[in-house]
Chain A
Amino acid sequence: MEKLKISPVSRIEGEGQITIYVDDNGNIERARFQMLEFRGFEEFLKQRPIWEMPLITSKICGICPIPHHLAAVKAAEAALGVSEIPPLAIKLRKLLLDGGSIQDHALHFIYLAFPDFVFDASEVKPEKRSVIGLFKDYPDLVKKGIFLRKFGVTLAEAVGGHSIYPTTAIPGGMSRPIDEQKRTQLLDMLDEALQYAEETAKLAWKATVGLSKKYPANFSSKFMGLSRDGNCAHYDGSIVVIDEAGKVNSRFEADDYEVYIEESVERDSWGKFPFLKKQGVRDGVYRVGPMARLNIAESINGESATKWLAKYKELAGKKPNQHLFSYHLARCIELVSHLEAVGQVLQDQNITGKEVRTPVQRAAGEGVGAVEAPRGTLIHHYRCNDKGVVEYANLIVPTTHNNFALNASLAEVAEEVVKDGKLDDRGTQRMEMAVRAYDPCLSCATHAWTPDKKNGAQIKIVRTSEQEEMR
């Protein structure tokens, strides 16, 4: 067997590689995206106090620390039996999540993915295929990206303290309110940010429609995401799964995730492979992230975003969008929606009110918290004893949900671009573009689902034959 390797995969968050396994007849046997780092969070979260979870898990990922911070605090609240926190605290947490997503979506689309749309690897040197190269040829676009990120970071800091190390969400609410000066500062920046987001969505539309025509993709899957009464939700809501036709396959509360999701281990990846239990490995493949959320949503926050959502839905003729490049468009539509939502909330002066927490005492319990991170559904699950010490911890991160799908997309592209057992520069770029569409986050994905020995959760070993059938 031959192996083709792309290492490290560039312009993604973390150190990873693609390995294409080619059999002796030159056929692609499988393609794998492999992470090259390991940290093993679930193990050392055990024995720590549950109220420290939001502070430790925010270090899982420097790109989306905020969703981890919030999923952890929600799970901790569930475990400690906190049934209600001040409504203002919930509003602030939603703002915090918006801020994180705004900076992240802008980073991903403009800094990391966009160079692919204008710099073809068969013509442009590797140094140039970057945000720095982009800055030389398209300085305005990069400046807009910088401004969008700055808006997101400023918002995250105003609410969360720090955008990379948020600290203010604690069980019971927030450690402090936000101040009036920040509110007005953000409102002053809002119009400009909205205008840039709108332009970004237009660019994404062009890129997505163009690329999907040029490079058709056949892989299709189910989709999972949070939704509240049909509205695209990020902080709360139920988990909804839709099938290939767009019909609701299942709807459940985060607490029941173990009933619906199962995970498998494979020998050639540190990441695990979740699938829908009921459908089994082959039919139970689903995707999460911006494309999944918009496929599931019947409505979305914001006037302009609502129009965009309608256009997005028409792209695939009312069925779920399946093309991997639709991720980019969905991401930028969300960018518009987040900004519109933030505008509405910040207009309200009461947002700077002081009632942001209620005291919480330690207690034994078990709880699950789910939020939508930029890359998809994020689930934290803890059990603690009466001293508040964590005895069991389990995290399912977005990149892991997408593992099966990402590898299947890679195999599909490999069929097309590997010629005579070789990859040229453009072929390499095409493979990497597939990875970037999913926007995997390796620092997140190197945490695996710890089997709960007490409750006996099972890990399924997938046989190679099953994998092949899936492709």
Chain B
Amino acid sequence: MSEQKPTVAIGLLSGCFGCLMSFLDLADDLAEVFNLIEFRRCPFNDVRELEHVTVGMLEGALSTDHDMKLAKEMREKCDVLVSLGTCPSYGGIPGMRNFQDSKTICEDVYGRRVPDDEELPQLLPAVVTLASVVKVDYFIRGCPPTTEKIKETLVAILEGKKVPEKTRNLCVECPRTKESILTPRRGFLTQGVRSVMELDEIDPTRCFLEQGVVCMGLVTVEGCNARCLGDNMPCRGCMGPVPGVPSQGNKLIDAVATLIPSGALMFFEDSVGIAFRYTHAADESMRK
């Protein structure tokens, strides 16, 4: 028998499989990973039973009672539990369903006959974060997290190390320059809030806020290499808040209020759906 390798289990909650795709994007490094660890219950093989493993990773949001059961079972059976991606860490996109209560959602979607077979999972009243239910040892942020981050964290776990925490905001990684924001002035910075599609030119070198487009980079933690900004699109905040900031969404609303005419803030068409897109479920200030 060869030396016992660390074992890994992966569980899928209500997510999109994107985090696992980011893992698979290890591509040529996959062989190395296959050599380092041994997969037990995971979507890539046929193991159905969850036995005790060294590392457990959970992808997706806690949205149904099935998710809840699986999360608790994983906690019991895994020495180290990893919250993989923004979904379990902050509720992510699925957390946006908390804008409404679950009964309304079901009735709107299914009419008067909501599926109710006992084999089907039941919706939780609201999406909750993994850390609010069980103890989480490692968080990997991002929707999806970068492939490098997943690898870095896995290696750190296997070596029993901590992963250094990022502490600055995304603007430090952004290739765009700020000019008028930094120049003393009396008036507001832009005339109003616009969407990218409405700009005559999308200036690839200038901060989006100066172009009148809301960018979440200001209130989002660094770590994704500002990937959307490089593609000439504003950040939507998928990495979550800078550590220590309790509310990514409220912070953004504060920030834009100081940049654009306060009247224009009323026209910031979807302050909730943009500022709280990824963290609604985790945000205390959004509780009903």
B-binding residues in A (CB < 8 A) = 3, 5, 7-8, 10-15, 17, 19, 32, 34, 36-40, 42-44, 47-49, 51-52, 55-56, 59-63, 65, 107, 111-112, 121, 126-133, 135, 146, 149-150, 153, 161-165, 167-168, 170-172, 175-176, 265-270, 357, 359-362, 387-389, 429, 432, 441, 443, 446, 448-451, 459, 461
User: From A124, which residue of chain B is reached at the shortest CB distance?
Assistant: B46
User: From B238, which residue of chain A is reached at the shortest CB distance?
Assistant: A165
**In the complex, what residues of A have CB within 8 A of residue B120's CB?**
34, 268-270
| B44 and A164 contacting across the interface, CB-CB below 8 Å | no
| A265 and B31 contacting across the interface, CB-CB below 8 Å | no
- A52 contact from B12, B20, B115, B270, Cβ within 8 A: B270
A-B contact pairs, 9 of them (CB 8 A): A37-B13, A39-B94, A43-B100, A47-B99, A52-B274, A130-B39, A175-B232, A270-B115, A389-B270
| B43 and A362 contacting across the interface, CB-CB below 8 Å | no
| A37 and B60 contacting across the interface, CB-CB below 8 Å | yes
CA distance A389 to B269 in the complex (A): 8
**In the complex, what residues of B have CB within 8 A of residue A5's CB?**
119
Question: Contacting chain A: which of B162-170, B173-181, B198-206?
Answer: B198-206
| A63 and B17 contacting across the interface, CB-CB below 8 Å | yes
Which are the 4 A-B pairs with shortest beta-carbon distances? A62-B18, A130-B45, A161-B231, A268-B117
**In the complex, what residues of A have CB within 8 A of residue B92's CB?**
59
Is B40 close to A, CB under 8 A?
yes
| B14 and A38 contacting across the interface, CB-CB below 8 Å | yes
A-binding residues in B (CB < 8 A) = 11-22, 24-25, 27-28, 30-31, 34, 38-40, 43-48, 60-61, 63-64, 66-67, 70, 92-94, 96-97, 99-100, 104-105, 108-111, 113, 115-117, 119-121, 123, 143-144, 195-200, 202, 204, 227-228, 230-233, 236, 238, 269-270, 273-274, 277
CA distance A150 to B29 in the complex (A): 12
- B115 contact from A121, A167, A266, Cβ within 8 A: A266
User: From A174, which residue of chain B is reached at the shortest CB distance?
Assistant: B232
User: From B14, which residue of chain A is reached at the shortest CB distance?
Assistant: A37
CA distance A135 to B27 in the complex (A): 13
- B227 contact from A55, A149, A161, A450, Cβ within 8 A: A161
**In the complex, what residues of A have CB within 8 A of residue B39's CB?**
127, 130, 132
Q: How far is the CB of A120 from chain B (nearest CB, A)?
A: 12
Q: How far is the CB of A365 from chain B (nearest CB, A)?
A: 14
| A40 and B97 contacting across the interface, CB-CB below 8 Å | yes
| B121 and A164 contacting across the interface, CB-CB below 8 Å | no
CA distance A182 to B7 in the complex (A): 38
**In the complex, what residues of A have CB within 8 A of residue B47's CB?**
10, 126-127
- B25 contact from A17, A153, A387, A389, Cβ within 8 A: A153
Say whether, besides A39-B94, A63-B21, A170-B196, A165 and B48 are in contact (CB < 8 Å).
no
- A265 contact from B25, B70, B93, B111, Cβ within 8 A: B111
| A359 and B63 contacting across the interface, CB-CB below 8 Å | no
| A268 and B46 contacting across the interface, CB-CB below 8 Å | no
**In the complex, what residues of B have CB within 8 A of residue A268's CB?**
115, 117, 119-120
| B105 and A43 contacting across the interface, CB-CB below 8 Å | yes
CA distance A128 to B46 in the complex (A): 8
Q: How far is the CB of B200 from chain A (nearest CB, A)?
A: 6
**In the complex, what residues of A have CB within 8 A of residue B16's CB?**
59-63, 65, 443
**In the complex, what residues of B have CB within 8 A of residue A450's CB?**
108-109
- A11 contact from B34, B44, B121, B274, Cβ within 8 A: B44
CA distance A5 to B143 in the complex (A): 32
Q: What 9 new A-B contacts, CB under 8 Å, besides A36-B64, A63-B21, A131-B44? A: A47-B270, A56-B93, A61-B18, A127-B39, A146-B28, A268-B120, A270-B120, A388-B269, A443-B16
